Structures are given as C-alpha cells and as structure tokens.
Amino acid sequence: MKNIVALDTSTEACSVALQCGDESIFRYTVEPRVHAKALLPMLNELMAEAGITPKQLDAVTFARGPGAFTGVRIATAAAQAIALGADLPVAPVSTLAAIATRCARETGASKVAVAIDARMGEVYWGAYQLSVDLPELIGDECVCTPERVTALDNTWCAAGTGWQTYTAQLEQITGVVRTEGVDPFPHALDVLSIGKQLFERGGGVSAGQALPVYLRDNVALTIEQRAAQ
C-alpha cells in the first residue's frame, strides 16, 4: 500500500499523518475541544502537500480509543467517511498502543505502562512490550481505579496523562517510577506505524466494522454505583 492516512483525536491532541510512497508527513496540535474543526483542514493540508486526492488513498487507519468519548467518535466518523467514499480498508488502532509506540519511538523504551486519565477517579490502562513487530499487550486493556492496575516493576516506562494525575497511586501499585519528559498523548505517526503492520497482516476491516472502543460502557453511573458493581 502506497498511500495511507492515519487519524487521531482520542485525547487532547489532534493529529493526522499521511504516508505517500516512502515518505510520511503529518500535522499535530494539542488543542482540546477543537478536534471537530481542526481534523479535516489538517487532512486537506496534507493531501494538498502530497499532491494526491482521496481517490488515490489505499487505506485508512485511526485511533479507535479508549479516550475522550467525543474525540474517539470524531476520528471514527472521519475514518468511516473516507473509507466509504473511496471503498478503502480500515485499521482501527488502540489509543493505548499508539501512546506506547510513541514512547518507545521517542525514548527507546521496550516496555511501556500506559495510563490515560479517564476522569471519575479512573484510568484507561494497558501495559505493552515493544519490539520490531506490533506492540504486545500484557494482560488486558481496561478502565479501573489507579489502585487496580497491574503490578509491574521499575524496568517499565510510564506514559499517558494518568501518570500525571495519579502519580503516587500508580507508582505504589505498579512499582514503575513516573518517567519525566515523556509526551502523554498519542501521535498519528504511531497510529500509522501500527496500522501499516495490521494491513500487512491482513488486519484491515470494512468501514462498517471500523468501530470505536470506549471500555467504559456507561458514563452516567456515579462512582459509588460503579464501585458497587
């Protein structure tokens, strides 16, 4: 596949990456609550820079969550629309895996514990081992209180906004020391990297099967109600 577009709006960051032949270009910004307005202009800029049209795309990949509910829906809807319009395969990519991949790319870490602040006293959690292949999830992705994440050790790198909000709790349970200087957000370049590998392994789906992943099923429940469940 020569031309692949990657989208991410699942956290406070908004980014688009485009592989055109052997080159990759991107737009990236951290501006909460403007993703719906920013995403398509960023995509149009990249397409114009690359000199291609949507009909020349070969595939779409996007960060499918978990993350901000509205943000996850924005990227999902955009990916579905692009794929439907040009009859393209889609590769949904875990937001947590994208953060882990970015951390590995920027720091050289081979094991990354990702925690996104999920609000309401909880985090979206996933622990990943990184190599030349796809990031390997250790255990399951989940939404839970900081006290219920996986025990690890101090050989892991910490990434994600949850480590900023719940530093003491996460360090105590995991044994991981919060890593300074690690960007907490996903980047479309890493969504692109994972998506390309998924396509190479035949992991693309149709637009109708490109669905978001929220992990938290009901945001209307109170903290006490969720604890009782």
> Cα(160)–Cα(187) distance, rounded to whole angstroms?
12
Claim to verify: residue 87 and residue 114 sit in the same structural domain: no
Regarding whether 190 and 140 lie in a shared domain, the answer is no
On whether both 136 and 26 belong to a single domain, the answer is no
137 lies in the same domain as 167: yes
pLDDT at 220 over 50: no
SS3 per-residue string spanning 71-140? HHHHHHHHHHHHHHHHCCCEEEECHHHHHHHHHHHHHCCCEEEEEEEEECCEEEEEEEECCCCCCEEEEE
Instruction: Provide the domain count of the chain.
Output: 2
In a domain, 23, yes or no: yes
Which pTM was predicted? 0.93
- Percent of the chain whose pLDDT exceeds 70: 94
Is the per-residue pLDDT at 222 higher than 70? no
Structural domain contains residue 222: no
Whether 142 and 30 map to the same domain: the answer is no
Range of the domain at 160: 95-174
Is there a single domain that holds both residue 106 and residue 157? Answer: yes
In the prediction, which pLDDT does 169 show?
97
9/82 same-domain check: yes
Same domain membership, residue 146 and residue 116: yes
Mean pLDDT of the chain: 93
pLDDT single digits (tens) 186-206: 999 999 999 999 999 988 999
pLDDT of residue 227: 52
87, 14: one domain:
yes
